[in-house]
Structure 1
Amino acid sequence: MAQNKLAPIETSFSKLMGVQYPIIAAPMFLVSNEDLVVAASEAGGVGTFPSLNYRPPEKFKEALTNIKSRTKKPIGVNIIVNKSNTRQEGDLKIALDAGVELFITSLGNPKSVIQDAHKNGAKVVCDVTNLEFAKKVQDLGADGVIAVGAGAGGHAGPISPLVLIPWLKSELQIPIIAAGGISHGGQIAACLALGASAVSVGTRFIASKEAGVDIAYKQAVVSSTPEDIVMTTRVSGTPAAVINTDYVKKLGTDLPWLLKSLKDNPMTKKYVVPLIHLMGMKALEKSATNPSWKTVWSAGQSVGLVDDILETAEIYRRLVNEYHEAKQSLP
């Protein structure tokens, strides 16, 4: 079925962003590249990517220029807003100059991003895992929150989406975007029924033809089950969901005692946390682009619902069709 023949899914988020479908192709470290971002936005959703996928900053600027020349539809950029990201201010300026419509903030205080983005007419949504932080970013002027629940890839939250979404909905006035374990249109219908106005889909797009990672990583997503996903602090110091490869089993899922002690110590924390992040990024980068026996692949529990590697446009078609079918099948 042609993309433009599918019925749109209208929510407060789709209206906010001016898109057909409230489905964000989540910003994934190393996975989200120019092709994936363009294909997702052209398919009627919002393609996004982390600014740190392109290094140095000149490469980030070049990527944005290329993306904006290939699609006139909204795109998004993820910016890490903790102190370990020394590129935060510069990347934000580059993205605003390029006309980026959506910013996704994670791992820190989004105040400056919200203020500067709003001056440019851009929207900002913030990753949250609980109500306390969600209220804080709402008070700062965020346009929405991404409710990262249990089952998500990468830095997953601890709370089930079945609880997290309606809990946030009952307390917030801004749109809620559900994230964690979503790779089927029926789950999108469930999330909207719970009070979300959009979804952020990550793992499903790892197994896309456009994703910029080695075929072994994509095949691992296709062949894994939810039971193959484990939480580890070895990657970034913060619990992150990865596929339980032989190397992860050998490595263990906890930080070494010395690093954990230094991370927990107020005197050394600010020096050690950026170091752990850097080490983790290097490990993920090597695994994603040049797999060896030392493999760390980030993914969420929705690997269990991913059976094939498809073009991004086809993934969107399936998600939207499944969403409408799920709605019609309800008693």
Structure 2
Amino acid sequence: MLTKLLNIKYPIIQAPMFLVSNTEMVIEAMKSGIAGCIPALNYRTLPELREAIKELKQAKVEGGSFGFNLIVNKSNVKYKDQLRVLCEEGCDFIITSLGNPEETITEAHAVGIKVFCDVTDLHFAKKVEDLGADAAIAVNNQAGGHRGNLSPKELISLLTKHLTIPVISAGGVGCKSDIDKMISYGAAGVSVGSPFIASIEAGVTDEYKQACVDYGAKDIVMTERISGTPCTVINTPYVQKIGTRSTWLEKVLNKNRTLKKWVKMIRFYIGMKATEKAALQATYKTVWVAGPSIEYTQAILPVKDIVKKLIN
């Protein structure tokens, strides 16, 4: 069970969300008996990342746990320095995404940090298990942001059948019955993101939070216009206007082996900046990342009340 793995009261990780997650959210999560995680990319500089780790270590309570998410592919030029800081300062766990986690697993294990790896299929799940990952995070087709292709039941059942490490389900959890469902499929716990966007502590605009209240599961669409990789967003009028498919130029450039890597890196950077502007400023250019579990979001609440809704 995830509770034993992270020494937490409830088998829930407050998922790392780009621009949304912050120390205030994670501290409240830990006080509520769950784990919290922040993308390392939410910090522009390494000193800022160090300060965040120190703040979380000081605020840590028994029954709570905290970690950071690392993008481990070449699009993240800060990756190696971020990993070094995490290992120097210490945290309970690291979640890896979008790349080969071998270096992270080796370095983190050397200082006693657990490593969980995002996976979307059995092939990569077996790879991270062989590399020594402590758990696989099964990103299903109900997840917000970059999601998988398999349903929660399909993916969890497949991974638990063939892996010996714990499987943590990511996607499709907005209420207590959803957690019970994922556990019944064999998951050791769940990673929950979108319901926490509309928290008082989240560091995004009230417009973004309110959108998670006003829109529902039917309003979530896939777009290729953020990072070059399909990503779920709220289908605002602006998203409808710009469309959700790559431009003809991006498609042509992506077919060129030499240019493909650079196109992806540029698209990733542009997409991050566009998402940052929408999340942190009141603007008509609203590209708000979220998953279908916002269906259960009915008000902007403190983190502790969102946790209560998930466990009661």
Q: Specify the TM-score bucket, using the shorter chain as the normaliser.
A: over 0.9
Provide, for residues 14-37 of structure 1, a one-character-per-residue CA deviation record: whole Å limited to 9, x for no partner. 111111111000000000011001
The within-5 A match list for 1:15-94 is 15-72=4-61, 73-94=64-85
TM-superposed CA distance for 1:255, in Å, is 1.0
Task: Tell me the distance in 1 between the aligned counterparts of 2:282 and 2:232.
Answer: 18
Task: Tell me the distance in 2 between the aligned counterparts of 1:146 and 1:275.
Answer: 27
Contact 1:78–1:104, Cα closer than 8 Å, also in 2 = yes
How large is the RMSD of aligned CA atoms in angstroms?
A: 1.0
TM-superposed CA distance for 1:260, in Å, is 2.1
Q: In the alignment, does 2:174 pair up with 1:202?
A: no
Q: Secondary structure at the match of 2:94?
A: strand
Task: Tell me the distance in 2 between the aligned counterparts of 1:166 and 1:249.
Answer: 36
Q: Identity, % of aligned pairs?
A: 48
Query: Which residue among 112, 116, 139 is the counterpart of 2:103?
Result: 112
Which residue type is aligned with residue 263 of structure 1? N
Task: Tell me the distance in 2 between the aligned counterparts of 1:261 and 1:128.
Answer: 28
Q: In the alignment, does 2:216 pair up with 1:225?
A: yes
Which residue type is aligned with residue 41 of structure 1? M
The within-5 A match list for 1:155-194 is 155-194=146-185
Q: Secondary structure at the match of 2:257?
A: coil
Provide, for residues 195-243 of structure 1, a one-character-per-residue CA deviation record: whole Å limited to 9, x for no partner. 0001000000001111110011000001111110000010000000000
TM-score (norm 2): 0.97
Q: Secondary structure at the match of 2:4?
A: helix
Which residue type is aligned with residue 216 of structure 1? E
Provide, for residues 75-110 of structure 1, a one-character-per-residue CA deviation record: whole Å limited to 9, x for no partner. 110000001111111111111222211000000000
Which residue type is aligned with residue 299 of structure 2? D
Task: Tell me the distance in 2 between the aligned counterparts of 1:314 and 1:225.
Answer: 20
Task: Tell me the distance in 2 between the aligned counterparts of 1:144 and 1:263.
Answer: 33
Equivalent residue pairs, number: 310
TM-score (norm 1): 0.92
TM-superposed CA distance for 1:287, in Å, is 0.3
Task: Tell me the distance in 2 between the aligned counterparts of 1:291 and 1:130.
Answer: 38
Task: Tell me the distance in 2 between the aligned counterparts of 1:139 and 1:125.
Answer: 13
**Other-structure match for 1:122:** 113
Q: Which moved more, 1:211-220 or 1:310-319?
A: 310-319
**Other-structure match for 1:254:** 245
Task: Tell me the distance in 2 between the aligned counterparts of 1:191 and 1:258.
Answer: 41
Q: Secondary structure at the match of 1:37?
A: helix
Provide, for residues 307-329 of structure 1, a one-character-per-residue CA deviation record: whole Å limited to 9, x for no partner. 111111111122111xxxxxxxx
Task: Tell me the distance in 2 between the aligned counterparts of 1:319 and 1:141.
Answer: 31
TM-superposed CA distance for 1:138, in Å, is 0.6
Task: Tell me the distance in 2 between the aligned counterparts of 1:74 and 1:168.
Answer: 25
Provide, for residues 260-286 of structure 1, a one-character-per-residue CA deviation record: whole Å limited to 9, x for no partner. 221232111121111110000000000
Contact 2:220–2:290, Cα closer than 8 Å, also in 1 = yes
Task: Tell me the distance in 2 between the aligned counterparts of 1:293 and 1:124.
Answer: 39
Gaps (5+ residues) in structure 1? 1-10, 322-331
Contact 1:68–1:98, Cα closer than 8 Å, also in 2 = no
